[in-house]
Amino acid sequence: MFLQAGNPEFEAHLLAEGREIPDIIGFGLAPSLAMFIMTWDNILNMFIAPWAGAKSDRTWNRLGRRKGWILLGAPIALLAFVFIPVAQSLLAIMTFILITNFGMALFRSPTVAWLGDLFDTNNRSKANGVINLMGGVGGLLAYFGGGMLFNALGRNAPFFAGAVATIVALVTVLIFVREPRQIAVEERESDRGGVLDNVKALFANPNKSGLFVLLSILFWFMAFNALETGLSSFAVFTLGMKAGTASIYTGTMTISFILFAVPAGFFGTRYGRAPIIRIGLIGMVLLTLLGYFIIQGAVTLIIVLVLAGAAWALVNVNSLPLVYDHGDERRIGAYTGLYYFSSQLAAILGPTLGGILVDALGNQYRWLWLFGTVSWL
């Protein structure tokens, strides 16, 4: 919103519809450029996360296999993150966003690889449900707490609160997570392939299931990330909501996701991950198509987002365990990296193509709902 606020075309649309212009000072960028900037973390993740994940498979020191990567990346991300709201120029804010995303990319795959390290295949969907529950709670605090802090204390407050939360999380994992011992040396010695080697192995494998899973993840994350990135802008610039209020309302999808994350994991375990994912995708197709036509205010927005949160939980919770099902237990970090390569490429293409679509069709963020429908199909 800061990147786009002040764009005269948005203000003209809001005035034409009799809506209030949000009181936000920003850089007035076009949707395509603003949404492209928001994908920078995904560009870094696409290259750094797979490398870090594969590298962490072959790392073992007194901290374990993955903790060193967290200890390396988290402070970098933390220091840059707190400077984002005080940046006084477009170059400064872009620089701080870039550094923040670089730090996060270093520890993303090693951290998520704990799902494969600590749980066997029969329990991964359920464990991922709990992981997503925790992530959803964090997202909920970001939406609601961030919105309230923004309204009460200004733009700096949500960023400093996020920094404190990062410190607490860092201390928690360093103290309480106990990693299993390293897999036998002879097994690790055979795992010297990098990210490109793992990609080549997927294409060379006569069984293309793993490749098709990653391609499917590419398309459904394209849809989700385009909509997620533009959702607050849709609420502010199309529906005319205040920035803090928009953040709170869009958080209803996170609430729904939280409530359904654990059940989605149990459903995936009992009925199979692929069938449950298909049910979730059908739900998202129907809801985004419906959302394009019926969302005119807060009530209809909340209804669609609540249902979408439940459907997305069925998809998201079972995605990574499905990748592990078609992977190599000795390369959990590497396959986590491939998952992030696919999902982060989607997170680049989705918002960028969605932003171009919004630009081309009269700066109306409503088109993102149809973009989601097509991608989920």
Q: What is the pLDDT of residues 226-258, one digit of tens each?
A: 888 888 888 887 888 877 778 778 778 888 989
Contacts of 130 (CB under 8 A, 6+ apart): 261, 262, 265
Provide the b/e sequence for 71-104 (b: ≥16 CB within 10 Å).
Answer: eebbebbbebbbbbbeeeeeeebbebbebbbbbb
Identify the pLDDT of residue 309: 93
Q: Where are the domains of the chain?
A: 8-177+194-376
Identify the pLDDT of residue 281: 95
Residues 8-13: contacts with CB under 8 Å, at least 24 apart: 9/363, 10/237, 10/363, 13/237, 13/238, 13/363, 13/364
* Cβ–Cβ < 8 Å for 163, 142: no
Question: Rounded to a whole number, what is the distance in angstroms from the first to the last CA of the chain?
Answer: 29
Identify the pLDDT of residue 186: 41
Q: Dihedral, CA atoms, 134, 139, 145, 148, nearest 10 degrees? A: -160
Contacts of 94 (CB under 8 A, 6+ apart): 37, 40
* Cβ–Cβ < 8 Å for 68, 177: no
Q: Does position 21 have pLDDT exceeding 70, yes or no?
A: no
Contacts of 277 (CB under 8 A, 6+ apart): 268, 314, 315, 318, 319, 322
* Cβ–Cβ < 8 Å for 336, 329: no
Q: How confident is the model at residue 29 (pLDDT cuts 50, 70, 90)?
A: low
Q: What is the tens place of the pLDDT at every residue in 137-171? A: 877 777 678 778 877 887 788 888 888 888 988 88
Cβ neighbour number for residue 375 with a 10 Å cutoff:
25
Say how far apart CA 164 and CA 74 lie, in whole Å.
12
Identify the pLDDT of residue 32: 63
- What's the mean pLDDT when you consider all of the chain? 81
Say how far apart CA 224 and CA 373 lie, in whole Å.
10
Give the predicted TM-score (pTM) of the model. 0.76
Q: What is the tens place of the pLDDT at every residue in 93-127? A: 888 888 998 998 898 888 888 888 888 888 999 99
* Cβ–Cβ < 8 Å for 21, 243: no
Query: What are the tokens at 275?
Result: 């069938």
* Cβ–Cβ < 8 Å for 136, 263: no
* Cβ–Cβ < 8 Å for 214, 338: yes
Give residue for tokens 């700096």.
156
Say how far apart CA 7 and CA 133 lie, in whole Å.
37
Q: Does position 34 have pLDDT exceeding 80, yes or no?
A: no
Query: What are the tokens at 38?
Result: 């928001």
- Strand partners for 61: 64
* Cβ–Cβ < 8 Å for 103, 46: no
The fold for domain 8-177+194-376 equals Growth Hormone; Chain: A; (1.20.1250)
Identify the pLDDT of residue 130: 92
* Cβ–Cβ < 8 Å for 144, 251: yes
Q: Which residue type, as a one-letter code, is found at position 176?
A: F
Q: Does position 318 have pLDDT exceeding 90, yes or no?
A: yes
Say how far apart CA 42 and CA 221 lie, in whole Å.
12
* Cβ–Cβ < 8 Å for 58, 182: no
Say how far apart CA 276 and CA 126 lie, in whole Å.
13
